[in-house]
Structure 1
Amino acid sequence: MRKLILRNGQSPGDIVMLTAAVRDLHRTYPGEFETDVRTPCPEIWENNPYITPVADDDPSVETIDCEYPLIHRSNVTPYHFIHGFIEHLNERLGLAVRPTEFRGDIHLSDLEKSWTSQVGEIVGEQLPFWIVVAGGKNDFTAKWWDPVRYQRVVDYFSGHVLFVQVGENGHVHPRLRGVIDLRGKTSLRQLIRLVYHSQGALCPVTMMMHMAAAIECRPGLPRNRPCVVVAGGREPPQWEAYPHHQFLHRAGALRCCDNGGCWRSRAVPLGDGDEKDAPENCCVDVVGTLPRCLDLITAEDAIRAIEVYFAGGAVAYLTPDERRRVTELMR
């Protein structure tokens, strides 16, 4: 049995995609590998049945720095992010791993599933809710949508959909009104459990969209979690989008993203000395502070995308009793 240590130091969203490669390695070659990982977010790997502790000094271990060079061909080839790490492992190990599911692989224990969500603890009962991410990291401000538009979406569904805002400390997440505010109040494992209980998610291209696909839904919800992604034109849709998501992109509508995504980092320079301020890394078509591809996505576009899930019957609005409870909570 070959022993592997898989290393990657990137962000949690990337690690969610690595979980798919580990799952598919073991499903394609059952019983042939022992795998352990070295990543910045061990919480993502908790309860993972494909992970076996392997010592760094084990003379029989193979250590692989996992990458996804396939991203450099993402604008012109029909591959998804889920193929990235898999292709790299195939090349390094001489294998023929293929994806077995169109999602990452995050596991919750039966005990975790039995716990009340943070929303249930706050409200005093388990109400349906959507997660909203209305910001992001300073290194990729070209992903940020307008917080005023996020607020318009929240206001439109007031009394019918309960939104819970999340965001990591140290990142930029403008406060929204009329939401349960859990910004900076969840560990990564708590966020995973929050997603498990959630009815849906509204977010930019970020870790949340990958978690929305990777984490199973609690009983009573659809097999695949609703998710509306405000994407613009930075990434090619086929590289990021999941089949059951509403992926609001504008690729092909502008000259700057008429052949996949632009992959620019920032909308405007921040003056912080980061190389992402360089002209070649900044948006070439800005409206105010927004890339024009994101400015072309209106609050009404996001509202309609959310409404589709309710109109189709995948999920249901708050009941009259639940509305009264949420109204009391928001006073």
Structure 2
Amino acid sequence: MKKLILENYQSPGDTVMLTAAVRDLHLLYPGQYITDVRTHCPMLWENNPYITPLDDNDPEVQYIQMNYPLIHQSNTLPYHFIHGFIQYLNFELGTAIYPTAFKGDIHLTPEETSWMSQVHEITGNDDPFWIIVAGGKFDFTCKWWDVKRYQEVVDHFAGTIQFVQVGEALHNHPPLKNVIDLRGKTDLRQLLRLVYHSVGILTPVSLPMHLAAAVQLNPGLQRLRPCVVIAGGREPVHWEAYPNHQFIHTIGALPCCATGGCWRSRVLPLGDGDEKDNEDQLCLNPVGFLPKCMDIISAQEVIKKIELFLIAS
């Protein structure tokens, strides 16, 4: 059995995609590989049956710095993000791996799924709730949407949907009114359980978008977990969207994303020394602090997408 250590220190969303590649390697080449990983997000690998601790100094270990160069063809080829690491592993190993499921590979234990949710701890009941992500990382401001519009959405569904706001404490997540505020109060493992108990997710392109597909369904949810993604024109739809998504995009609608996602990072330079301040990383059509592709998405459009799921229920 070949020993592999796969390394990637990108964002948690990238790690979720790497879990799919590890799963598919083992399912399609059973008994041929022993795998371990080095990422920023060890909690996403807990309980994973395909991970075996390996010693970095073991001379039999093949160390692979994982990447997904397929992203550079995302505007011209019909591939999803889930193919990225898989294609790279095939190149490195000479394998013919392919996706065996259209989702990442996250494992919750029966004990974890039996625990009450953090929302239940606060409210004392199991009323259904939607997760809402109303912000994002400072280094990717092109993904942000107007927080006032998020509030409009929350207010519209007052008495119908209980929203639970989440977000990393060190990122930009302005507080919303009339929500259960769990910003900065969930580690990754707690977030997984929160997604498990949720009945829907509203988010920009982010980790919770990937978790909406990757986390197993609560038995009480009799369909794919609803997820409304406010995406704009940065990423190609087919690269990011899952079957359970209402993916609100503007690809083809504006000159800056007329032929595909722009993949730009920031609306304005932040002066932090990051390469994302370079001109080729800045938004071509800023409207204040928003990219135009996000600014033209109205609260009413998001509301209609959420209402589609409510009609179906």
Matches within 5 A, 1:294-309: 294-309=294-309
Residue number in structure 2 paired with 1:13: 13
Question: Does the alignment pair 1:230 with 2:227?
Answer: no
- Secondary structure (helix, strand or coil) at the match of 1:18 reads helix
Residue number in structure 2 paired with 1:108: 108
How far did 1:310 drift? 1.0
Residue number in structure 2 paired with 1:260: 260
Provide runs of 4+ in structure 1 moved above 4 Å: none
How far did 1:290 drift? 1.2
Alpha-carbon distance in structure 1 between the residues aligned to 2:172 and 2:211: 20
How far did 1:270 drift? 2.2
Residue number in structure 2 paired with 1:173: 173
Alpha-carbon distance in structure 2 between the residues aligned to 1:291 and 1:178: 27
Instruction: Specify every segment of 5 or more residues in structure 2 that has no aligned partner in the other structure, as ranges.
Output: none
Question: Does the alignment pair 1:64 with 2:67?
Answer: no
Residue number in structure 2 paired with 1:120: 120
Residue by residue over 1:298-317, the C-alpha shift from the partner in whole angstroms, topping out at 9 and shown as x without a partner, is: 1011100000011112xxxx
How far did 1:273 drift? 3.0
How far did 1:127 drift? 1.4
The residue type equivalent to 2:34 in the other structure is E
Alpha-carbon distance in structure 2 between the residues aligned to 1:148 and 1:125: 29
| Alpha carbons 1:266, 1:282 under 8 Å: kept | yes
Alpha-carbon distance in structure 2 between the residues aligned to 1:52 and 1:275: 36
| Alpha carbons 1:216, 1:224 under 8 Å: kept | no
Residue number in structure 1 paired with 2:130: 130
Using the size of structure 1 for normalisation, the TM-score is 0.93
- Alpha carbon RMSD of aligned pairs, Å? 0.9
| Alpha carbons 1:216, 1:223 under 8 Å: kept | no
Question: Does the alignment pair 1:31 with 2:31?
Answer: yes
Alpha-carbon distance in structure 2 between the residues aligned to 1:113 and 1:242: 23
| Alpha carbons 1:68, 1:87 under 8 Å: kept | yes
Residue number in structure 1 paired with 2:219: 219
Alpha-carbon distance in structure 1 between the residues aligned to 2:57 and 2:162: 50
CA distance 1:97–1:54, shift in 2 (3 Å)? same
| Alpha carbons 1:133, 1:166 under 8 Å: kept | yes
Alpha-carbon distance in structure 1 between the residues aligned to 2:163 and 2:108: 23
How far did 1:52 drift? 1.2
How far did 1:225 drift? 0.6
Give the number of aligned pairs: 313
How far did 1:57 drift? 1.6
Alpha-carbon distance in structure 1 between the residues aligned to 2:116 and 2:284: 46
Matches within 5 A, 1:76-91: 76-91=76-91
The residue type equivalent to 1:68 in the other structure is Y
Residue by residue over 1:278-319, the C-alpha shift from the partner in whole angstroms, topping out at 9 and shown as x without a partner, is: 221111111222111111111011100000011112xxxxxx
How far did 1:125 drift? 1.3
- Secondary structure (helix, strand or coil) at the match of 1:138 reads coil
- Secondary structure (helix, strand or coil) at the match of 1:145 reads coil
How far did 1:150 drift? 0.4
Instruction: Specify every segment of 5 or more residues in structure 1 that has no aligned partner in the other structure, as ranges.
Output: 314-331
Residue number in structure 1 paired with 2:241: 241
| Alpha carbons 1:201, 1:227 under 8 Å: kept | yes
Alpha-carbon distance in structure 2 between the residues aligned to 1:306 and 1:216: 21
Residue by residue over 1:9-63, the C-alpha shift from the partner in whole angstroms, topping out at 9 and shown as x without a partner, is: 1111100000000011111111111111111110000111111111112221111
Alpha-carbon distance in structure 2 between the residues aligned to 1:223 and 1:105: 18
The residue type equivalent to 2:311 in the other structure is A
Residue number in structure 2 paired with 1:183: 183
Residue number in structure 2 paired with 1:311: 311
How far did 1:222 drift? 3.0
- Secondary structure (helix, strand or coil) at the match of 2:140 reads helix
- Aligned identity (percent) is 65
Alpha-carbon distance in structure 2 between the residues aligned to 1:33 and 1:275: 37
Using the size of structure 2 for normalisation, the TM-score is 0.98
